[in-house]
Structure 1
């Protein structure tokens, strides 16, 4: 059985995989990258970045967006370069770009367009390490929704033929107070809308699963002070850990719920997700991430929240 997402990619000629929510999100796209490269498809990488990009001596291809290379200067926090290092050690040398997390919808959409034109991209895949990208905005707990919504609305404006959203790490946003009953309700809504394209489980017996585990270990070594909560939670779940299991000291004092659902990758038509973001009109002309956050706060101040519910399991 093949899920609709991979059928949809069968005719893709050049693919851009972009991290949606900042930080390590592009790392969650690496299993998809490895699979597509195994099929012989050209793949470009990008990430909404928390890196101090002007300090890396990388080329700025358009305002706020930089091309990362092996020659980019090492700085303590630089996941994009370290992912490139890991891929290069495997014989891969993809083009990879980092977009400043200060960009709003308009300049971020422009960055996607510049990258797409440069590489002849016909397919854009946004990847979220977590599921706050599936929040519509009226939920009680929405996680860290601002950056994801900015990326989704920006991507929805870009004239690329095929655009998708991938979310993984179901349950990891418990750390950020996301309401997972509402998340499942939203997936059901997107299913009725025809925007849901299936899900797969990443396992440690798959080439892509082994690759992801190796990548997370490499990033932990390269970034010992910034070990990703999301990436390590997903990796722990793939290895079979369960419950309140901690890898990074960043989660000390909190309760985690590592579970098998974290290894699932959920696939959606991006335009369907974008159409459900209830505050899209408040952010779609934003120039900065600050304006995106302001628009979201304004929406929240004027909106009645859904009644919070627990999953009855």
Structure 2
């Protein structure tokens, strides 16, 4: 092991690109995620992948709120937002959903979350975007940046497919995640991060997590990996998060979030094939402590590694994003071979 470590150290020293530009930028004593956000006064935490993804940002939001930071929540919505009260719309593609916002759509995670936040005396507006292409979604984000004086954005993904670059054996369900990534990378905001919570969950959709780790290692060499941060199960943040997820499950019993349910179970120390909904009846789950860890990367460095981001840059609608990603995959000649964990 000593020889291997020496080899790695020698490789890093002789390859400057493998080291961050500022070796003192982060320290073990302060989690890099919080160090990066420390200068920010108005943070936007947004669900990258739609639906309940915004819930994956709640533990981070709770910690930042407690520290005095202004935090705003946003979500790429799968609800029928066109049915929401007209007065909720603050601009063409942004609805400010509050605890009193009315929608006849039974699936409305943003409204459910807003009501839960209000009941816990926390800031209770959740900004919602309809499914869009890159250009209108970027305009929606830009509106919020200007409206709320945002100086940091954290895209959160419940799962790991946002960390994939395009040449992996399978991309999972990348449409919303990568649309969000493409939209935000062009914004002039001082701090832009991506945090993934729920490592391993996307195996259900074909994601090979050895390749996820390989991508994180590559980002680390480029100075774009901010490390992994576990959510302590007994912490206030974990307890509030579990309560919010339980509330959401009760509000949408026909379609509870499988992703957030597994993460919540992981934060409570559950392990293995944990059942909390009939939706998982067809397969085996593998809830484990890795699901309760934030893996955080620099958003712009992640975007720069995506092999097809340029193809979706000028999209207007979601369908365009889908077809262009599929065209890229159809043309891909050398997808990386999936590998199993060696231990």
For the superposition of Structure 1 and Structure 2, which TM-score range results when normalised by the shorter chain? over 0.9
1:13 aligns with 2:41: yes
Q: How does 1:167-206 map to 2 (within 5 A)?
A: 167-206=196-235
Q: Can you list the C-alpha shifts for 1:181-232, whole angstroms capped at 9, x where unaligned?
A: 1111111111111110111111221110111111111111111111101000
Which of 67, 75, 90 is residue 120 of structure 2 equivalent to?
90
Which of 85, 88, 94 is residue 65 of structure 1 equivalent to?
94
Partners in 1 of 2:166 and 2:277 — Cα distance?
30
Partner of 2:66: 38
User: Alignment partner of 1:30: what SS?
Assistant: helix
Which of 27, 30, 45 is residue 55 of structure 2 equivalent to?
27
Q: How big is the shift at 1:70?
A: 2.3
1:239 aligns with 2:276: no
Which of 173, 180, 189 is residue 151 of structure 1 equivalent to?
180
Q: How big is the shift at 1:177?
A: 1.3
Which of 299, 305, 309 is residue 335 of structure 2 equivalent to?
305
1:16/1:44 contact within 8 Å kept: yes
1:255 aligns with 2:284: yes
TM-score normalised by structure 2 residue count: 0.89
- Count of paired positions: 312
Which of 110, 119, 122 is residue 80 of structure 1 equivalent to?
110
Q: Can you list the C-alpha shifts for 1:44-88, whole angstroms capped at 9, x where unaligned?
A: 110011010011215222333211122311431111111111111
1:2 aligns with 2:2: no
User: Alignment partner of 2:246: what SS?
Assistant: helix
Partners in 1 of 2:33 and 2:57 — Cα distance?
14
1:175/1:255 contact within 8 Å kept: no
TM-score normalised by structure 1 residue count: 0.97
Could you list the runs of 5+ residues in structure 2 that have no partner in the other structure? 1-28
Q: How big is the shift at 1:29?
A: 0.4
Q: Can you list the C-alpha shifts for 1:70-121, whole angstroms capped at 9, x where unaligned?
A: 23114311111111111111111343211011x1111111101001101111
Alignment RMSD (CA, Å) = 1.1
Partners in 2 of 1:62 and 1:256 — Cα distance?
41
Partner of 1:267: 296
Partners in 2 of 1:5 and 1:204 — Cα distance?
19
2:312/2:324 contact within 8 Å kept: yes
1:86/1:215 contact within 8 Å kept: yes
1:198/1:267 contact within 8 Å kept: yes
Partners in 2 of 1:61 and 1:286 — Cα distance?
23
Which of 278, 294, 304 is residue 323 of structure 2 equivalent to?
294
User: Alignment partner of 1:17: what SS?
Assistant: strand
Q: Which runs of 4+ in 1 moved over 4 A?
A: none
Q: How does 1:269-284 map to 2 (within 5 A)?
A: 269-284=298-313
1:28/1:231 contact within 8 Å kept: yes
Partners in 2 of 1:70 and 1:245 — Cα distance?
31
Q: How big is the shift at 1:175?
A: 1.5
Which of 241, 244, 249 is residue 215 of structure 1 equivalent to?
244
2:113/2:126 contact within 8 Å kept: no
1:20/1:47 contact within 8 Å kept: yes
User: Alignment partner of 1:24: what SS?
Assistant: helix
1:47 aligns with 2:75: yes
